[in-house]
Structure 1
Amino acid sequence: MRAGTFFDVDDQQATLLGPADVRRLAGELGIRPTKKLGQNFVHDANTVRRIVSAASIRPEDVVLEVGPGLGSLTLALLPVAGAVTAVEIDPVLAGRLPRTAAEYAPAFADRLRVVEADALRVRADDFAAAPTALVANLPYNVAVPVVLHLLAELPTLRHGLVMVQSEVAERMAAEPGNRVYGVPSVKAAWFADVRRAGPVPRNVFWPVPNVDSGLVAFERVEPPSTAPRREVFRVVDAAFAQRRKTLRGALSGWAGSAARAEEVLRAAGIDPTARGEQLRIADFARIVEVA
């Protein structure tokens, strides 16, 4: 019997990777996890089950997984999703994943499609089936850009759950007035309702990272405005570029002058002496609407 833990779905079984499986596969492929690619492989079956359960995947979902690595999470997703598209930048890992699925989850291996690509560059037409859910253990150094890019590029993406650095999770889900509320919080809110979904201990990874991890869940919402998103995001970036400045000063470059910025802010019903961390995404959109 293969090492690992069984995952039962409708009396069929998939085998999840355990610590010995992860190390064996890495050794077979000659892989040494790199900080550059943010490679920390999950080897704990209970954590993988928890992620899949919290993601609320339905049989009709087409799941997008970014950075599947050795396949720990992929194997748990295959039995519960209609299909899984795994985007992997590492050609060695991308090449091995279909065989791993065939070995550990033979009843579900035909649900997997692997796209060898940079998740920051994928486009909607790269996918044979439009993804409806994002579930991923994201490289910590690109987590926010990846989530924002995918939400912008894939309007079919309705919900998801991602594992990120704990501080990143806190920033993505922060509300106005919170000390860590900033650009990631505001931009994510354009696309979705975002919430923390629990911590993840360090010891479920190999190698053990030197930072804590956390889960972030999201549900797609309608944009708060018909204002052009790129222009709204320009205002957001300007507002937080110099956090100590009031909006009158912070938006002076965007508006053309501090006086014009004040005029626009007052027209939008926003106090020019306020700061960016006090505004919601709808407030930033209203600034663009009246400009």
Structure 2
Amino acid sequence: MTSRPPSLLGPAEVRQLAAELDLRPTKQRGQNFVIDANTVRRIVRDAGLTADDVVVEVGPGLGSLTLALLEAAGRVVAVEVDPLLAGRLPRTVAERAPDQADRFEVVLADALRIAEVPGPAPTALVANLPYNVSVPVLLHLLALLPSLEKGLVMVQSEVADRLAAGPGSKVYGVPSVKAAWYADVRRAGAVGRNVFWPAPNVDSGLVAWTRREPPATSATREQVFAVVDAAFAQRRKTLRATLRPMAGSAEAAEAALVAAGVDPQARGERLGIEEFARIAEQLAARAEVAS
């Protein structure tokens, strides 16, 4: 017997659920609920999910995207920080996706602090991320869950541009470089404000990514990321200047940069993740010799 597809939420159903819960969406938690079924179908389609995928969803809210994910994926684990929403979600799934309810689990937790995801190893991250913490959440989960192979997340449009930017772009920065450590990242389209309730004051964008191996280096991720943070702390300064505190002197910073094959007069915005890894490796090697 074939299973029935989930019944997706529309504007009336979202408002009805909110009224039932006496819910007043808070800006603090980035609560803007998707009310358009075509948008969640598009997100699921563009995420390239199959019945073999175990999906992590962050900030499921009232369940708009959750229901669409259950139609495509083998299992969905939703991480929700709001006890009210986390408590109602299993009932929404049972009511609107009864044939898929056994493949769903909700975890009451802050995605920024979660230490594990129950059940089989997740293979995909698909979410309408809370906009105020979207980058930290994405980077945390990429580090925490090496089993994640792919993902599609909705974030503020400017953040989407930054995450997908390459070296030399005006919006290239710390999020761009750190995301590139884990994955190949690309822009996957725009989302209008009218698909949300309440409508946000910002435009939204989709970011897709595919896991790849980090650069081959003896430096740790923490060492590489420390160099990235330092390089962008003062964007207008050269790497020779921004890395001076880490290296101990401008001369030592220059020597490490030259050994890494990087122009000491270059700025961080011109470098890719591989070059940052080489710099971190040289700085770590010099620090070890000095000690």
TM-score of the aligned structures, taking structure 2 as reference length = 0.95
| Amino acid across the alignment from 1:12 | R
User: Which residue of 2 is the match for residue 84 of structure 1?
Assistant: 76
C-alpha separation between the residues in 2 aligned to 1:130 and 1:88?
Answer: 18
Correspondence list, 1:103-182, <5 A: 103-124=95-116, 126-182=117-173
Q: 1:36 aligns with which of 11, 22, 28?
A: 28
Offset at residue 80 of structure 1 (A): 1.1
**CA separation in 2, counterparts of 1:127 and 1:221?**
24
3-state SS of 2:126 partner? strand
Residue 53 of structure 1 aligns with which residue?
A: 45
SS of structure 2 residue aligned to 1:79: helix
Residue in 2 that maps onto 1:212: 203
Unaligned 5+ runs, structure 2: 284-291
Instruction: Look up the match of 1:3.
Output: none
Q: Quick one: distance in 2 between partners of 1:252 and 1:230?
A: 18
Shift of 1:225: 2.4
Q: Name 2:216's counterpart in structure 1.
A: 225
CA–CA separation in structure 1 for the residues paired with 2:269 and 2:30: 29
What TM-score do you get using the length of structure 1 for normalisation?
0.95
CA distance in 2, matches of 1:60, 1:98: 22
- Show CA shifts across 1:124-166 (max 9, x none): 3x42221110000001110000000000010001100000000
Stretches of structure 1 lacking an aligned partner (at least 5 in a row): 1-9
The RMSD of aligned alpha carbons is: 0.8
What is the CA–CA distance in structure 2 between the aligned matches of 1:32 and 1:256, rounded to whole Å? 52
CA distance in 1, matches of 2:118, 2:156: 27
Query: Does residue 1:201 correspond to 2:192, yes or no?
Result: yes
- Report the CA distance between 1:63 and its aligned residue: 0.2
Cross-structure match for 2:239: 247
Q: CA deviation at 1:11?
A: 6.0
For residues 185 and 243 of structure 1, the distance between their equivalents in structure 2, rounded to whole angstroms, comes to: 14
Structure 2 counterpart of 1:102, which letter? Answer: A
In structure 1, how many angstroms separate the alpha carbons of the residues matched to 2:5 and 2:179?
Answer: 36
2:288 matched residue in structure 1: none
Shift in Å, 1:35: 0.4
Task: Check the 8 A contact 2:3/2:99 in 1, yes or no.
Answer: no
Which whole-Å CA distance do the structure 2 matches of 1:41 and 1:14 have between them?
A: 18
For 1:113 and 1:170, locate their aligned partners in 2 and report how far apart those are by CA, in whole Å.
Answer: 32
CA contact (8 A) 2:63 2:89 kept: yes
Match of 1:234 among 226, 230, 234: 226
Identity of aligned residues (%): 70
Aligned length: 281
**SS of equivalent residue, structure 1 residue 161:** strand
